[in-house]
Amino acid sequence: MDARQEVFEPKAHMSHAVPGRMEGVWPAWPSLCWKTKVLYGVGEISNSIKSYAFGLLLLFFYTSVLGLPGTLVGLATALSLLWDALIDPFIGHASDRVCSRWGRRHPFMILGAMGMGVSFFLVFNPPAGLAAGALFAWLVGTNAPVTRSLRCRTTPWAPS
């Protein structure tokens, strides 16, 4: 018999399972109300705003409006993604180990949300008259805190 044609055979401890079907094998989880689902989904808004703003506006803003070469914008974005890949495990580890009066994850989520607002504003409001090198440094210097703040907020939020 081919692996794709195998039929599920219930084990002895699965007496309530119907042969050939997986329903009833695992206990049914209680259904969440719509309010809980909506409030949990609100946590993804900051990630969505950052993704769309950076994906649609960042390159255009820094190349067409501010005159920074596209290669430098791409390099700054790549450095930010590298920073993100390096820091994610540390944020997750720290949020698993912290004990505070607000819980393990809430301090990270609150600080990340506040930092996200400030650093996101700074990315799109560089000082006027910066040369290309200084503008690149500004983009890298403000893009990394956006990523760090976003990850401080979303990494603890995801498993909670």
Between CA 126 and CA 49 the distance in angstroms is: 19
pTM of the model as a whole:
0.68
What pLDDT score was predicted for residue 78?
93
What pLDDT score was predicted for residue 63?
94
15 Ramachandran zone, left/alpha/beta (phi>0; psi -120 to 50): alpha
What pLDDT score was predicted for residue 127?
93
Contact present, 139 and 74 (Cβ < 8 Å):
no
What pLDDT score was predicted for residue 95?
78
Looking at the domain assignment, is residue 17 inside a domain?
A: no
Looking at the domain assignment, is residue 25 inside a domain?
A: no
Tell me which residue range forms the domain holding 99.
45-157
Looking at the domain assignment, is residue 12 inside a domain?
A: no
Q: How confident is the chain (160 residues) per 10-residue block, as mean pLDDT?
A: 54 54 61 83 80 88 94 93 86 81 80 86 92 95 86 67
Looking at the domain assignment, is residue 77 inside a domain?
A: yes
Domain count, the chain: 1
The per-residue b/e assignment along 138-152, b for 16 or more CB within 10 angstroms, e otherwise, is bbbebbbbbbbbbbb
Looking at the domain assignment, is residue 126 inside a domain?
A: yes
What pLDDT score was predicted for residue 41?
80
